[in-house]
Amino acid sequence: MDRKTTESRDYYDRIASGYVDSAENGFTRAFVKHIARDLPLRPHDRVLDVACGPGELLRLLSNRESTITGVGIDVSPEMIRTARRSNPGAESLTPRHVFRATAWKGIAP
Sign, CA torsion 2/51/53/89: negative
Name the pLDDT band for 15 (thresholds 50, 70, 90): very high
For 76, residues 6+ apart whose C-beta sits below 8 A from its C-beta are 8, 9, 12, 13, 16, 101
User: What is the reported pLDDT for 26?
Assistant: 75
Q: Is the pTM of this model over 0.85?
A: no
Which CATH architecture is the domain 3-106 placed in? 3-Layer(aba) Sandwich (3.40)
Q: Which of 1-5, 64-68, 104-108 has the lowest mean pLDDT?
A: 104-108
Look at residue 98 and tell me whether its pLDDT is greater than 70.
no
* pLDDT tens digit sequence for 27-82: 788 888 999 999 999 999 999 888 899 889 998 998 888 888 888 889 999 999 99
Q: Give me the sign of the Cα torsion angle 109, 97, 50, 42.
A: positive
Q: Can you give the residue ranges of every domain in the chain?
A: 3-106
